[in-house]
Structure 1
Amino acid sequence: MALWLVYIAFDTPAARAVKPMIPDANRYQKEKVFLEYADSLFMDESHPEFQVLKGNVKFRKEDMFMYCDSANFYDKENRLDAFGNVKMEQGDTLNVFADKLYYDGQEEYARLRHNVRMEHRNTTLFTDSFDYDLLDNIGYYFEGGKIVDEQNTLTSKYGQYAPDTKDTQLLFDVELVNDKYVMNTDTLFYNTESHVADIVGNTIIVSDSSTVYTDQGWYNTDDDRATLYNRSLIVGKGGQTLTGDTIFYDRSAGFGEAFGNMILTDSAKSTILMGDYGFHNEKSNTSFATRRALAMEFSQGDTIYVHGDTIRTYLLMPDSSRVMCAYPNVRFFRTDIQGICDSLSFMSRDSMLYMHRHPILWNLERQVMGNVIKIHMNDSTVEKAYLPEYGMLGEHVADEFYNQLSGKEMIAHFDNGEISQLDVNGNVMAILLPMENDSTYNKLVNAEGSFLIVKIKNRQIEKLNLWPDVSGKVTPIYLAKKSQYYLKGFKWYGEIRPKDQYDIFAIPEAMKTLFSSPESIAPVRRIRNENE
């Protein structure tokens, strides 16, 4: 094999570098690859189609320069193969390094292999196999790679990077890592300038404070703010989960805002908060729901469903006890009790449920009304209902007849979900229809006193003790006047009683009328006299 020594003479003590002489007229032809420099150039007669270049080799293609230790230069085909310390240089912002380069000047396409590194401003790409389309200015890796900017490190099996737009597309086993969280997915679009990740497939984002599950949205890794779609799920470190049709999430602030079918679940506290709009703050542990708002508490067997136009939960310092507030137009349902009021609050500190403004509580066939009702809970079981300002109880007996009790203060004691005892204190008034042995009712008892205790067993009055200064009378029903049927201010509100957990969203007109009346128990139905 004969080698033609073209520019270097080896019989000298030291090889002399010679710059190839290229006419100036040809040096700036568009789309032409030019050899700028090499220490030596050989021609192999067995491969006359290329020149062998060695030592400090430098090529130019328009405004791009290519450097290497050695190269095979296919001048007529306008392409080259470069080896050792390969570098592609475009301006002062884009450099690509590799062990090997296969460059086609006609197609403007480069294939770089082994220890590839692209440096573009603040972004560095690492891979072992990299194809670079210089026409579209897009680079590709397909055997695994890594992209690093000042904010994040991204790895994937396949990746694209466009220096003009700074956009990346990553596929298969994608991982985005920074010092705050890790994002895993199979498809991700990311911009190395804005540091925004566009999520288009199943994605998990794990941090010390939360875990996010989503399949569509965007995440700004600079300020940790995200918009998530398709009922994404955020799981807080305390076990709370937030989902919705669309979620705006600020990870740094611990704030999630959900639009459309919001559901906030707190498994540790056995609660669910729902609404068409709502938010949750992980750091302050405050929550808010509105538009068909619903709160559920299911700590002990039975579940209570609470609806209001707005529902809020928050922690009360210094003991971090939980508070839930619902307002206005509140309706709630549980199998043992149901109720309505214009505002409701629950405090975990004393396990108290407070009902304000026209509260009504139902238990079986009994209805309790007052200016304020306080329900004492014990392990989610109703222990007693306390009416400190005024109380009135009604019990449907038959047709238009009701047992009725009222007084300045009333306490209803519960046992196994039913009222078992009533304590009435101050200005006691009673209308009772005792059941006869044949289970009929034939007399009406009107009584007044100062104090009253009623014992109830098997849903019937077992014992009644009224004292002192008792007065009253017994009247056969057929002789009783209509004015004796009802206590002043009594009305049976069965038509607005929540029937089940779905009925709590319906706001009957009678309930609206009641809530628009003065804030105290007052006659709603006019009592007819005996001549009517």
Structure 2
Amino acid sequence: VRMEQGDTLFVYAAQLDYNGPTELATFIGSQDRRVRLINRDVELTTDLFYYDIAANLGYYNTNGQITDAENRLTSTYGEYSPDTKEAEFRINVVLNDLMEKKFRMSTEQLRYNTDTHIAQIVSPTVIVTDSATVYSSNGWYDTENGKSELYHRSRVVTPQGNTLTGDTLFYDNVAHFGEAFGNMVLTDSIRSSALEGDYGIYFQDLDSAFVTGRARALEYSRQDTLYLHGDTIRGYMLWNDSTHVVTAYPRVRFWRVDIQGLCDSLSFMERDSIMYMHRHPIVWNGKRQVFGNVIQVHLNDSTVDWARLPDFAFVAEHIDEEFYNQLTGKELTAFFSNGQLNRLDVSGNVEVIMLPQENDSTYNKIIKSESSFLKAYFKDQKLDRLSMWPEVTGVVTPLYLVRKVNCYLQSFKWYDALRPKDKDDIFNVPPEMNALLNEPANGSRRKNSL
């Protein structure tokens, strides 16, 4: 049986049943001859094919296949319109390129245009390529150019273990580039980290990303997750040695159960595992506050190993009411063991104010000392012993005689109002923090007074 319609549409079958009043033609294949519809470069094959001549629409429901110049599509049910080149498929739908090398799309319902080679995603769909696996339930995929626009919290998973999710996603399978709008999340399973924000982009080959709009970075390699916010957060590879770098700026705030901090800009170098905090950095741990011009924190398996303030350091610890232990110097290095402070080394213009605790746990005197060098050892988060050299000057004053102005070193400042309270408070930048970051850097804190 052979049917011709103009010079572009041909149908071949073993048997034809035709209903004149309804203009419905039923083409039936045989064991050695399947039904074939040919429309220019489109070929449809199946065992039983229904063709509505009046509507110029054909369909099958007993498994079929459509091929065009680019792709092959199989399904249990399928419809095809020669006029519009539109096709719709349901149940066990599989779409892939003819060589089965570029992509494979699997779903239960799909719309496809054999002229534009664009697939409309209308149900949960999986697209597998050599560079990523795409999961979506709404959007479109340009099979010819490898580009897609996806909605409804779609996600892209790369072989490297990265996952890009967003309310709206644009993904270029050829350029290996993704762009996310609305609740963007980029997770890195190898580094146990994630980037979140209102908008972000991801360059897969460069292992680089950018996020902004309530931007937040998460590091969850240990039990307690670190949450970090900056107006803009970037992650990228250095071209010369392939080390990974994360930067955040400006108005950076971070929170973890055991450590909190803020600064104007921050960077983390994977190569040396050091976090660099610039412009008015402040770090809190328990009752202690540390600030300086630059803070460098070395991490070992996401746990603080040591911290260094190379250009001015000030450490304060709240004791009681308006009293604080204080320490300042030109350079400070703190060493930690299992995340707890173990030792402090301070050099250059060392000044100390201490309130030693008596045997009955009370405080009755204040000590103020100066020297060139200091070394302090801690046990169970408390000062165990301290040494200062080579020359030490100081004075001991009973608390009831001390004047308030003598309770503080010149550069003392207590920034507790700026301290992030939880993982969501990092987004709340108080006016006092903006005022602080607008102050000049480069040692200005050494000139501040209470």
Q: TM-score range by the shorter chain?
A: over 0.9
CA drift of 1:187 comes to: 0.3
Q: Find the aligned partners of 2:224 and 2:350 in 1 and give their Cα distance.
A: 34
Give yes or no for contact 2:37–2:45 (8 Å, CA) kept in 1: yes
CA RMSD of aligned residues (A): 1.5
Give the stretch that moved more between structures: 283-292 or 100-109: 100-109
2:426 match: 504
2:167 match: 245
Aligned with 1:164 (options 73, 77, 83): 83
2:24 match: 109
2:384 match: 462
1:34 match: none
Give the stretch that moved more between structures: 253-262 or 103-112: 103-112
CA drift of 1:443 comes to: 1.6
Aligned with 1:412 (options 334, 337, 340): 334
**Which letter does structure 2 place at the counterpart of 1:447?**
S
Q: Find the aligned partners of 1:386 and 1:169 in 2 and give their Cα distance.
A: 64
> Structure 1 residue 307 and structure 2 residue 226: aligned?
no
Q: Find the aligned partners of 2:92 and 2:429 in 1 and give their Cα distance.
A: 52
Give the stretch that moved more between structures: 396-405 or 96-105: 96-105
> Structure 1 residue 324 and structure 2 residue 246: aligned?
yes
1:437 match: 359
Q: Find the aligned partners of 2:268 and 2:444 in 1 and give their Cα distance.
A: 23
Q: Find the aligned partners of 2:227 and 2:447 in 1 and give their Cα distance.
A: 28
Give the stretch that moved more between structures: 352-361 or 499-508: 499-508
CA gap of 1:109–1:524, structure 2 versus 1, over 3 A, is farther
Q: Find the aligned partners of 2:207 and 2:146 in 1 and give their Cα distance.
A: 19
Cα shift readout 1:112-169 (whole Å, capped 9, x = no counterpart)? 1112111111111111111111111111111111000111100001111001100000
Cα shift readout 1:2-25 (whole Å, capped 9, x = no counterpart)? xxxxxxxxxxxxxxxxxxxxxxxx
CA drift of 1:330 comes to: 0.8
CA drift of 1:400 comes to: 0.9
Give the stretch that moved more between structures: 114-123 or 187-196: 114-123
Q: Find the aligned partners of 1:487 and 1:434 in 2 and give their Cα distance.
A: 17
1:488 match: 410
Residue correspondence of structure 1 range 128-527 to structure 2 within 5 A: 128-178=47-97, 179-519=101-441, 520-522=443-445, 526-527=449-450
CA drift of 1:106 comes to: 3.9
CA drift of 1:203 comes to: 0.7
CA drift of 1:463 comes to: 1.0
CA drift of 1:452 comes to: 0.5
CA drift of 1:524 comes to: 9.1
For the pair shown, the structure with the greater C-alpha radius of gyration is 1
Cα shift readout 1:352-381 (whole Å, capped 9, x = no counterpart)? 111111100111111110110000111211
Q: Find the aligned partners of 2:158 and 2:152 in 1 and give their Cα distance.
A: 19
CA drift of 1:228 comes to: 0.8
Residue correspondence of structure 1 range 59-138 to structure 2 within 5 A: 86-114=1-29, 115-138=34-57
Q: Find the aligned partners of 2:207 and 2:80 in 1 and give their Cα distance.
A: 41
Q: Find the aligned partners of 1:397 and 1:251 in 2 and give their Cα distance.
A: 59
CA gap of 1:250–1:502, structure 2 versus 1, over 3 A, is same
**In structure 1, the residue corresponding to 2:54 is in which secondary structure?**
coil
Q: Find the aligned partners of 1:524 and 1:230 in 2 and give their Cα distance.
A: 54
Q: Find the aligned partners of 2:395 and 2:303 in 1 and give their Cα distance.
A: 38
1:42 match: none
Give yes or no for contact 2:411–2:446 (8 Å, CA) kept in 1: yes
Give yes or no for contact 1:491–1:524 (8 Å, CA) kept in 2: no
Which ranges of structure 1 fall in alignment gaps of 5 or more residues? 1-85, 528-532
Give yes or no for contact 2:251–2:265 (8 Å, CA) kept in 1: yes
Residue correspondence of structure 1 range 14-33 to structure 2 within 5 A: none
**Which letter does structure 1 place at the counterpart of 2:211?**
A
TM-score, normalised on structure 1?
Answer: 0.81
Q: Find the aligned partners of 2:338 and 2:315 in 1 and give their Cα distance.
A: 19
CA drift of 1:521 comes to: 4.1
Cα shift readout 1:59-78 (whole Å, capped 9, x = no counterpart)? xxxxxxxxxxxxxxxxxxxx
**In structure 1, the residue corresponding to 2:434 is in which secondary structure?**
helix
**Which letter does structure 1 place at the counterpart of 2:258?**
D
Give the stretch that moved more between structures: 132-141 or 295-304: 295-304
Give yes or no for contact 2:216–2:229 (8 Å, CA) kept in 1: yes
CA drift of 1:526 comes to: 4.9
CA drift of 1:523 comes to: 6.8
Q: Find the aligned partners of 1:513 and 1:456 in 2 and give their Cα distance.
A: 35
**Which letter does structure 1 place at the counterpart of 2:48?**
S
Count of matched residue pairs: 442
Q: Find the aligned partners of 2:385 and 2:102 in 1 and give their Cα distance.
A: 68
Cα shift readout 1:205-225 (whole Å, capped 9, x = no counterpart)? 111211111111111111111
Q: Find the aligned partners of 1:435 and 1:416 in 2 and give their Cα distance.
A: 26
CA gap of 1:524–1:192, structure 2 versus 1, over 3 A, is farther
Q: Find the aligned partners of 2:377 and 2:19 in 1 and give their Cα distance.
A: 99
Cα shift readout 1:273-311 (whole Å, capped 9, x = no counterpart)? 111111222111111111111111122333211111111
Cα shift readout 1:368-401 (whole Å, capped 9, x = no counterpart)? 1011000011121101110011111011111111
TM-score, normalised on structure 2?
Answer: 0.95
CA drift of 1:483 comes to: 2.2
Give structure 1 regions of 4+ aligned residues with deviation exceeding 6 angstroms. Answer: none
Q: Find the aligned partners of 2:382 and 2:16 in 1 and give their Cα distance.
A: 96
Give yes or no for contact 1:431–1:444 (8 Å, CA) kept in 2: yes
CA drift of 1:525 comes to: 7.2
Which ranges of structure 2 fall in alignment gaps of 5 or more residues? none
Give yes or no for contact 1:245–1:262 (8 Å, CA) kept in 2: yes
Which structure is higher in RCO with an 8 Å CA cutoff and minimum separation 6? Answer: 2
1:64 match: none
Cα shift readout 1:40-73 (whole Å, capped 9, x = no counterpart)? xxxxxxxxxxxxxxxxxxxxxxxxxxxxxxxxxx
CA drift of 1:495 comes to: 1.3
